[in-house]
Amino acid sequence: MCSDMVTILLIILPLIAGLILFFLKNEKRVMMLALTACLAELIVLIYCLFHFSPSGGIQFAMQQYWIYSPDVRFSIGLDGISITMVLLTSLIVPLVILTGFRRQVRNPGAFYGLILLMQSAMVGVFTSFNAVLFYVFWELALIPMYFIILLWGGENRKSITLKFFIYTLSGSLLMLTGFIYIYLSAAGSHSFELSGFYHHSIDRGTQSWLFWLLLAGFAVKMPLFPFHTWQPDTYTVAPAQGSMLLAALMSKMGIYGAMRWLIPVLPAGVAEWKNVVIILAITGIIYGSVIAFRQKDMKRIIAYSSLSHIGLMAAGLFSGYLVALQGTLFMVFAHGIIVTGLFYISDIIEKQTGTRMIDQLGGIRNHAPVLAGFFMIIMLGSIGLPLTNGFIGEFLIFTGLFQYKLIFAALAGITIISGAVYLLNMYQKTMLGNENKLTASIIEIGTSEKIVLFILSAIIIITGLFPQLILDIGSSAVHGIVELTSGSL
């Protein structure tokens, strides 16, 4: 395989498969093709991982002119951070597709086609090293999601999707404005290349407001408190697979974007505002936990818990400490896996009983012990119990925050730990206790459900026991980012 074509293959493979899927009607064939494409993608990625040297900077790179003037290039490649994100994407998407097995989605060709188109755009986001290209992929990832929620979502989806769309688009357009400004200020010949963005001569005062333009795009996507108001509704109204993609992958685009396109690009702006952002992030952690505790709907609980975890990642990211950044990258991966599992379990329960309200459920473990077991592992991962991958990320971030400011670490730590209460509560109310009319008829999960949950749990435990598997891939690239910022921090 020609090495510079690998990255483009990673983008094109799901794109082509997705487009073909639109023309297929038969659900079985659709699933087969979608899964084959995902597996092929995974194989290509594994090939990359074997030929990847973590300290080697950007590899499998390709650069072509797209527009001569103003200079925009189609430049893609993989470095440690990218490949971690692409790995997460290529693990989650096939699992998400598998969760639809025998679910009889309406118009399956379009549904899975959109998922693959989204995967293609998302891989584009994680591999592009040109600001305009990054922006184009960033928007392209949004459009399939919009249609997935609008066409297969729950009640009241029209106004919620419109809010979601306008929110995220307004953030990204402000981000685009920021990019154009940086492009025009880049030293020497103007350039949209990431390397050009790292060498500009923007003074401190300008960086200070430019910071907010860029942050708008990333903060809405994450979402960071107080830009989060679209999130709980959207997660709840989206079809289960949509929620998984949103929480596991799309929100991570925000973290990734800030890590690559904000923190090293505007170090002076970050230095000026990072305490504000960390305070917002910690407010989000507390807010998410408190609200989650008051919720009855499983999906809403997961949505708010996700908000809280994203807050922790953002806090770690902006602390600027190497160990916290590595923790953030690891947690992006870990949380992606865990939240997929949580949404899947809530969906399994809803499909069988017709409700997601934890008050109306109980005693499911009596009938479905395997489901309860998997739920336990995934929930413990989410709480961050040692030996699960949830622990590693949180631990590293706390270490970094600790070094940065004790009060931040203390606030975030206490909340995240006490946040375990609502997850335990959810587990207790649904799985334990007495069964009732709704849960009496529940049956044990089938093979396909077992496979998905097994893979998720296995990843949670394996990467929890051997975190170096993931940490090693990205550590050198994260180190590079910290070095770029260290001058002004």
Q: Which residues of the shown chain bind other proteins in the complex (CB under 8 A)?
A: 65-70, 132, 135-136, 139-140, 143, 150-151, 158, 162, 165-166, 169-170, 173-174, 176-177, 180-181, 183-184
Between 140 and 420, CB nearer to other proteins: 140
The C-alpha atoms of residue 258 and residue 318 are separated, in whole angstroms, by 9
- State in angstroms the smallest separation of the CB of 167 from other proteins: 9
Q: Which residue has the tokens 């017709």?
A: 354
- Judged by beta carbon, residue 40 or residue 143, the one nearer other proteins is 143
> In terms of CB distance, is 107 or 355 closer to other proteins?
107
Smallest gap from residue 214 Cβ to other proteins (A):
13
Do 248 and 217 touch, CB atoms closer than 8 A?
no
Residue with tokens 């755009």: 121
The one-letter code for the residue type at 415 is T
Residues making up the chain, counted from first to last: 489
Q: DSSP string covering 91-119, please?
A: HHHHHHHHHTTT---SSHHHHHHHHHHHH
For other proteins, which is the closer residue by CB, 39 or 162? 162
> C-beta of 71: minimal distance to other proteins in Å?
11
Contact 135, 179 (CB under 8 A): yes
CB of 66 to other proteins, least distance (A): 7
Alpha helices, DSSP H, located in 22-107: 27-50, 80-99
Torsion of CA 420, 430, 306, 154, to 10 degrees: -160
Residue 443 burial (10 A CB sphere; 0-12, 13-18, 19+): exposed
Pick 64 or 447: Cβ nearer other proteins: 64
State the nearest-atom distance from the C-beta of 125 to other proteins, in Å. Answer: 12
Under DSSP, the state recorded for 189 is S
Question: Is 66 or 395 the residue whose CB approaches other proteins more closely?
Answer: 66
Q: How far is the CB of 179 from other proteins (least distance, A)?
A: 10
**H helical segments located in 153-246:** 157-185, 194-197, 204-221, 231-237, 240-245
In the complex, least distance from residue 396 CB atom to other proteins, rounded to whole angstroms = 35
Residue written as token pair 């990843």 = 459
In the complex with other proteins, the residue whose CB is nearer, 227 or 427, is 227
As measured in angstroms, the least distance from the Cβ of 132 to other proteins is: 7
Q: CB under 8 Å to 185, separation ≥6 — which residues?
A: 200, 201, 202, 206
List 357's β-bridge partners, or say none.
Answer: 297
Of 125, 266, 128, 126, the C-alpha closest to 186 is: 266
Position of tokens 């119990």? 385
Give me the least distance between CB of 181 and other proteins, in Å please: 5
> Is the Cα torsion angle 283, 141, 320, 401 positive or negative in sign?
positive
Residue 64: strand pairing partners: 74
CA distance 166 to 74: 27
Question: CB of 141 within 8 A of CB of 125?
Answer: yes
Q: Give the single-character DSSP code of 260.
A: I
Residue 164 Cβ, how far from other proteins at the closest point, in Å? 12
Cα distance between residue 307 and residue 330, in whole Å: 17
Which residue, 180 or 461, is less far from other proteins as judged by CB? 180
Nearer to other proteins, 209 or 454 (CB): 209
CB of 15 to other proteins, least distance (A): 12
Nearer to other proteins, 216 or 292 (CB): 216
Nearer to other proteins, 174 or 370 (CB): 174
